[in-house]
């Protein structure tokens, strides 16, 4: 007799049962024996059957009692029926697809799903339940493992199209670009068991595991936003993770943290860990510090369902619960599908050199369709033969395909936009009428009745009114909000996020105002007109990677919106390097996918040390090729205004990297008079109108332009012209040549940068300037090469800057 009540016994199993569950078909994850459930008696036997079978549910850490009860009810009920014929069909199809590929293309990488093909019936069930609950679209992200299988059996690509990629047909469509087959996105339709159709959008991804996670969630958010109130119901994001990658990659953890934040939530993401208990050659004990790779998800108050993939009925039930839970509680859910990997990491890899014993055990396991058919007393052989026949026929047809079959079309909301090379004909008017600017200026300062504005902020708002009335030059902060306000009133939605972005790191923005009595928030830009498109501004979590990935994803499915991400200081953007290199710079080239994402990167040498100075212009310039991005550093408020507006108003969708000011934000030299907003456009080069017949031209970008002008004034120098290079890429060769041509008296062109010689635009510009300035000599002034971007000493910085400015007006080295 146990001294506990039945309820207490069950409670112990609810809490600890998952540790004793039978989860690993290969037997490495041995069930544990927690003393709390070392109980005997009838209640314990019943509880053990519920909680220690092939499903292990972790849910007692969820604070919400209704959620826990909901899960306990399902775990403790009799198992619901499963359509075993449908499951078997999918297991046979998925398993034999891999085997046919293996026999036809031995030694070609495909990252087989064998050992865990139960994923296919799991996805089938998830889609069926989701459709019943209102899903119309699924945004699906995954890595290499099983991707081709999922493409055929879930996305709905034909087997012959995938086989044709093994034949590498139509290589010309890839010359100098394109991507490998197991990274490509795809779009298709899935017809569920109940006959509903769900659009599947599989997201293109780089090799970098888990990097696609926030991109997919951002895409889902954009698709949801397009559907207004119905969004979270209609669009379900699903992320498939590798076990080693999910546990190891920070971007996965960062993405989880987005789940319940206003600015990022998608009403719950379904995560499936395709857990084969190995990562390339590494064992879980070397890659995961806790029992389960999925433990990272315990940072959220959500359930984790571990399930043995050799029990497809259990896995399908779990899929059903997971989707139902998501739709009921609107949170993320994790399914940890535990199986094995039948082959090496890829099929050219021999796993027996590192896991000889494990692979002897695996070799003895039959394909899951065999064990499943046996369990359900079905003869699978005739169906296997038929499906093999179909696949062989598809193989034959694939050999006759001549065109790359996996090329895709963008959704119709991209019809109004284009990528490709820059064409000046794409430019549009970006000036705004004075009356409109006055109206926006007033609205920026208008608050609801009874709202108490902080006196310091009130002063700023009053100044903004003065600015738009032409009584004071317009500064950067005001110019930016005027750009957003005018776009919103023209019908362009705006989404701006980043750390502390609502106020602005440099206290310059105040896009959201806070009541001094109640802390209630009010965002004037959300009240510019009625009705108006959405203005979203959010303080982001303290992440660079996941949030940049998210905004890139958002921009992919909402090209009409001006989407901007702001770094606290530009230096931190290298925390998002994977998104910059793999998605922003290369997405169009690899996948033909466009994005108009804007990165705002505060940049400039102001004596704040190695990590508050440089947004690494050199890195972006190195990534620039074939008009893939725009790289700008506007030196005036009006230039900033026109640049933001043209980014939204042109039909050209290209990522825009902006090097934004810090100290110059309020500097009078960077402020612009009202007429600069009511006329004109963004100028990629600002020539010099102050000197006549100069003998030298200094070319520079960013804040140092202002410093050079001040230095020239101080020196009373009348021989030196200063050109501001406002756009570095696409390189404004025509404009710069035209500016140079105006001065036949110039003998010497000097590039001046405040960055060290191994950084900044030096390497990018010198060959171009040399070619263009011929026969004049081209020299440069810069700091000496340095491993770190800037000095940690404010005083040393001052000395350096003084020297730099002096050199610019005296001697410069030819380099």
Ligand X SMILES: Cc1ncc(C[n+]2csc(CCOP(=O)(O)OP(=O)(O)O)c2C)c(N)n1
Between CA 423 and CA 281 the distance in angstroms is 49
Give the residue nearest to ligand X (CB): 242
Give min distance, CB of 584 to ligand X, in A. 17
Q: Does 464 bind ligand X (CB under 6 A)?
A: no
Candidates 47-55, 154-162, 240-248, 481-489; binding stretch for ligand X (CB under 6 A)? 240-248
- Of 44, 72, 198, 209, the residue at the interface with ligand X (CB under 6 A) is 209
Between strands 304-308 and 333-338, the pairing is parallel
Between CA 177 and CA 588 the distance in angstroms is 9
Candidates 244-252, 385-393, 660-668, 689-697; binding stretch for ligand X (CB under 6 A)? 244-252
Q: Does 207 bind ligand X (CB under 6 A)?
A: yes
H helix and E strand count, the chain: 29, 22
Give min distance, CB of 242 to ligand X, in A. 2
Side-chain-side CA neighbours of 653 within 13 Å: the count stands at 25
Which positions from 342 to 371 touch ligand X by CB under 6 A, shown as an x/- string? ---x--------------------------
Question: For residue 517, what are its two tokens?
Answer: 């009595």
Give min distance, CB of 577 to ligand X, in A. 12
Question: For residue 126, what are its two tokens?
Answer: 């998830």
* SS3 assignment, position 504: coil
Query: Which lies closer to ligand X via its Cβ, residue 209 or residue 671?
Result: 209
Between CA 787 and CA 756 the distance in angstroms is 9
Between CA 51 and CA 4 the distance in angstroms is 18
Query: To 5 degrees, how large is the angle CA 412–CA 415–CA 421?
Result: 140
Candidates 236-244, 406-414, 527-535, 543-551; binding stretch for ligand X (CB under 6 A)? 236-244
Which positions from 683 to 722 touch ligand X by CB under 6 A, shown as an x/- string? ----------------------------------------
Q: Does 278 bind ligand X (CB under 6 A)?
A: yes
**DSSP character string of 79-117:** PPP--HHHHHHHHHHHHHHHHHHHHHSTTS-----TT-T
Give min distance, CB of 7 to ligand X, in A. 39
Between CA 602 and CA 614 the distance in angstroms is 8
Q: Does 208 bind ligand X (CB under 6 A)?
A: yes
Q: Does 279 bind ligand X (CB under 6 A)?
A: yes
Question: ω into residue 531 within 30 of 0, thus cis?
Answer: yes
Give min distance, CB of 106 to ligand X, in A. 19
Q: Does 103 bind ligand X (CB under 6 A)?
A: no
Query: Which lies closer to ligand X via its Cβ, residue 248 or residue 602?
Result: 248
- CB–CB of 781/808 below 8 Å? yes
Of 122-151, which residues contact ligand X (CB under 6 A)?
Answer: 145
Query: To 5 degrees, how large is the angle CA 17–CA 18–CA 24?
Result: 130
Between CA 150 and CA 679 the distance in angstroms is 54
Query: Which lies closer to ligand X via its Cβ, residue 208 or residue 770?
Result: 208
Q: Does 648 bind ligand X (CB under 6 A)?
A: no
Q: Does 245 bind ligand X (CB under 6 A)?
A: yes
Question: ω into residue 730 within 30 of 0, thus cis?
Answer: yes
Query: Which lies closer to ligand X via its Cβ, residue 119 or residue 804?
Result: 119
Give min distance, CB of 475 to ligand X, in A. 42
Q: Does 280 bind ligand X (CB under 6 A)?
A: yes
Query: To 5 degrees, how large is the angle CA 215–CA 619–CA 733?
Result: 110
- CB–CB of 126/189 below 8 Å? no
Query: Which lies closer to ligand X via its Cβ, residue 113 or residue 657?
Result: 113
Give min distance, CB of 166 to ligand X, in A. 19
Binding residues for ligand X, rule CB under 6 A, total 16
Query: What is the Cα Rg of the chain in Å?
Result: 30
Candidates 38-46, 261-269, 277-285, 368-376; binding stretch for ligand X (CB under 6 A)? 277-285
Between CA 151 and CA 32 the distance in angstroms is 37
**Which residues would be at the binding site for ligand X (CB under 6 A)?**
145, 207-209, 242-245, 249, 274, 276, 278-280, 341, 345
């Amino acid at each position: 007799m146990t001294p506990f009540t039945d309820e207490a016994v069950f409670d112990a199993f609810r809490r600890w049962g998952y540790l004793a569950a039978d989860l690993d078909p290969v037997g490495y994850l041995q069930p544990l024996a927690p003393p709390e459930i070392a109980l005997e008696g009838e209640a314990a036997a019943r509880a053990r059957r519920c909680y220690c079978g092939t499903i292990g549910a972790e849910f007692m850490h969820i604070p919400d009692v209704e959620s826990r009860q909901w899960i306990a009810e399902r775990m403790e009920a009799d198992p619901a029926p499963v359509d075993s014929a449908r499951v078997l069909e999918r297991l046979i199809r998925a398993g034999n697809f891999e085997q046919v590929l293996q026999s036809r293309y031995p030694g070609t990488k495909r990252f087989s799903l064998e050992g865990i093909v139960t994923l296919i019936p799991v996805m089938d069930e998830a889609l069926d339940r989701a459709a019943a609950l209102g899903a119309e679209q699924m945004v699906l992200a995954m890595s290499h493992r099983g991707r081709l299988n999922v493409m055929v059996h879930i996305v709905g690509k034909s087997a012959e199209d995938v086989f044709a990629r093994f034949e590498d047909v139509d290589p010309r469509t890839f010359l100098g670009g394109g991507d490998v087959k197991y990274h490509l996105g795809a779009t298709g339709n899935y017809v569920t068991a109940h006959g509903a159709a769900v659009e599947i959008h599989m997201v293109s991804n780089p090799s970098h595991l888990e990097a696609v996670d926030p991109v997919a969630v951002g895409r889902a958010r954009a698709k949801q936003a397009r559907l207004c109130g119905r969004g979270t119901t209609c669009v379900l994001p699903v992320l498939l993770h590798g076990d080693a990658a999910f546990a190891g990659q920070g971007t996965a953890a960062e993405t989880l943290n987005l789940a319940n934040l206003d600015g990022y939530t998608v009403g719950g993401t379904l995560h499936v860990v395709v857990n084969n208990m190995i990562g390339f050659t590494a064992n879980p004990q070397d890659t995961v510090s806790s029992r389960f790779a999925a433990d990272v998800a315990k940072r959220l108050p959500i359930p984790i369902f571990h399930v043995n993939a050799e029990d497809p009925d259990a896995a399908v039930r779990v899929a059903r619960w997971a989707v139902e839970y998501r739709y009921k509680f609107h949170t993320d859910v994790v399914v940890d599908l535990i199986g094995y990997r039948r082959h090496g990491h890829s099929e050219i890899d021999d796993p027996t050199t590192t896991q000889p014993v494990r692979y002897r055990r695996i070799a003895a396991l039959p394909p899951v369709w065999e064990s499943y058919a046996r369990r359900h007393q079905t003869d699978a052989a005739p169906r296997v033969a038929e499906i093999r026949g179909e696949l062989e026929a598809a193989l034959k047809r694939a050999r006759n395909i001549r065109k790359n079959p996996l090329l895709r079309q963008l959704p119709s909301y991209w019809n109004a936009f284009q990528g490709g090379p820059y064409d000046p004909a794409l430019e549009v008017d970006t000036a705004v009428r004075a009356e409109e600017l006055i109206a926006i200026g007033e609205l920026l300062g208008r608050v609801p009745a009874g709202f108490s504005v902080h006196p310091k902020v009130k002063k700023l708002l009053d100044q903004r009114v003065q600015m738009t009335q032409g009584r004071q030059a317009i500064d950067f902060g005001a110019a930016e909000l005027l750009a957003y306000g005018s776009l919103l009133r023209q019908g362009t939605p705006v989404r701006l996020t980043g750390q502390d972005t609502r106020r602005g790191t440099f206290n310059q923005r105040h896009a959201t105002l806070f009541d001094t009595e109640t802390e209630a928030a009010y965002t004037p830009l959300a009240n510019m007109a009625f009705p108006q498109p959405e203005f979203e501004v959010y303080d982001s979590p303290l992440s660079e990677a996941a949030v940049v990935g998210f905004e890139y994803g958002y921009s992919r499915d909402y090209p009409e919106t001006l989407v901007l991400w702001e770094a606290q200081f530009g230096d931190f953007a290298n925390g998002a390097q994977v998104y910059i290199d793999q998605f922003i710079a290369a997405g169009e080239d690899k996948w033909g996918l466009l994005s108009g994402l804007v990165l705002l990167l505060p940049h400039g040498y102001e004596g704040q040390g190695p990590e508050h100075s440089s947004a690494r212009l050199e890195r972006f310039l190195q990534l620039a090729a074939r008009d893939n991005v725009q790289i700008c550093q506007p030196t005036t408020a009006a230039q900033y205004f026109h640049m933001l507006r043209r980014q939204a108003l042109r039909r050209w969708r290209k990522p825009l990297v902006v090097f934004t000011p810090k100290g110059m934000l309020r500097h009078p030299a960077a402020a612009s008079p009202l007429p600069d907003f009511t006329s004109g456009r963004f100028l990629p080069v600002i020539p010099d109108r102050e000197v006549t017949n100069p003998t030298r031209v200094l070319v520079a970008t960013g804040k140092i332009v202002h410093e050079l002008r001040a230095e020239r004034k101080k020196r009373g120098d009348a021989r030196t012209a200063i050109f501001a290079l406002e756009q570095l890429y696409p390189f404004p060769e025509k404009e710069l040549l035209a500016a140079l041509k105006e001065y036949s008296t110039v003998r010497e062109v000097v590039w001046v940068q405040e960055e060290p010689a191994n950084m900044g635009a030096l390497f990018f510009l010198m060959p171009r300037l040399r070619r263009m300035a011929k026969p004049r000599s081209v020299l440069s002034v810069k700091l000496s090469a340095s491993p770190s971007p800037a000095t940690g000493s404010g005083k040393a910085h001052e000395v350096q800057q003084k020297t730099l400015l002096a050199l610019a007006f005296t001697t410069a080295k030819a380099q």
